[in-house]
Amino acid sequence: MGVEHTAYLTAVWRKMGKIDMASVKDVPFSSKMMAYVMGWLDPASVDTIVQRTTVIDAVLAALQKEHIVEIGAGLSARRERFPKSAVYNLDLPSFPLKKENFIPYVIGEDALEVPFMDAVFVVEGVSMYLEKKQLKKMLKEIVAHKGHVLIDFFDKSKGSKYKSFREDLYKRMFSKVACREKPFSFAVENAESARSLLSSCGFSEIEELRLPLKKTLDILFYAKS
């Protein structure tokens, strides 16, 4: 297992939330069963992914951009949901399933190269696995392409030191799936620090997109360069 296997979790949880019934077909059986168990242990994670995906899709529908670039796309089925846009999937070269318009890309190492400007870049469920230096390099490259960005962060101010038995078990299982003792590398201090980060990388018109959830660490932003 590895970080790319978290894509299997996302695909199953999107099915559990009835917003993407197609991608789960590419998930191996053992990974599928683990994802269902983990979704039962921590339904807040399922709700976060469902609401985040729904809000991002609504913004994409409103923007109607010719090009959509998903960074860390995993098993995303946005190509099926947005047939009028050219959807490009950027992910690790080792990712086992490579769809049409797949571009191998290691954040922080590879140059971000796409043959167009003014695209909307979707960086969904990715920032928390990165070091800050990697994240800033990617964001600055998006700005260089005159891109729009939809990106989420973990917000430290929403965290809690107390963990129930189920939440603790979920965390242990997640670490196993991601093959990391500490599954997450980056989080912002609060929403204002997320705004500052995006601004420092060259983005303007930064807007927080509220997720209608009582319990989530996730905060979502849209910004233009």
pLDDT value of position 1: 52
Query: Contact at 8 Å (CB) between 197 and 165?
Result: no
Domains and CATH numbers, the chain: 3-224 (3.40.50.150)
- Residue 162's pLDDT band, with cuts at 50, 70 and 90, is low
pLDDT in tens, 71-124: 998 899 999 999 999 999 999 888 767 778 899 999 999 999 998 999 999 999
Region 178-193 average pLDDT: 88
Determine how many CB atoms are found less than 10 A away from the CB of residue 193: 15
29-43, 55-69, 86-100, 205-219: which range is least confident on average?
Answer: 86-100
User: d(Cα 57, Cα 89) in Å, to the nearest integer?
Assistant: 16
Judge contact between 44 and 112, C-beta under 8 A.
no
pTM for the model stands at 0.93
Question: Are 223 and 198 spatial neighbours (Cβ–Cβ below 8 Å)?
Answer: yes
